Structure 1
Amino acid sequence: MLYLSEILIQHHELQNFEELVEMIKQQSQLGERFFRIDVRPSFPDTPENWEDRLEAAFY
């Protein structure tokens, strides 16, 4: 299972929400079957529909 908190901890180089979306797309192609959103990203450009966007990027 892929946790959003783990991505944020392991990838300090992420500078904005769009980079996070791309990272989740990459991680989903590595064979993870489930994605758990357990924290809210703290980027200044995080949109209101951030959960929907991250789930769409994973699936």
Structure 2
Amino acid sequence: MKELIDKLMAEGLTEAQAYKAVEIVKNFAREKFPIFGGAIDRLFDKYGPKDKPEDDFLD
């Protein structure tokens, strides 16, 4: 997941925005493919950050 976060940041997003974008994609995939919800959660949890940055982009 770090590679994806880095790629999003290279495209101009802040770290917080990149993590939020990944979270949005995760939720979208779970809604569209509910049968795979558990697998999607495990995938994102396994490769996701242990501590997400603060949502400083909302200020």
Bigger proportion of residues as strand? 1
Q: Which has the larger radius of gyration?
A: 2
Is the TM-score greater than 0.5?
no
Bigger proportion of residues as helix? 2
Q: Could you say which TM-score interval applies, normalised by the shorter chain? A: 0.3 to 0.5
TM-score normalised per structure 1: 0.40
TM-score normalised per structure 2: 0.40
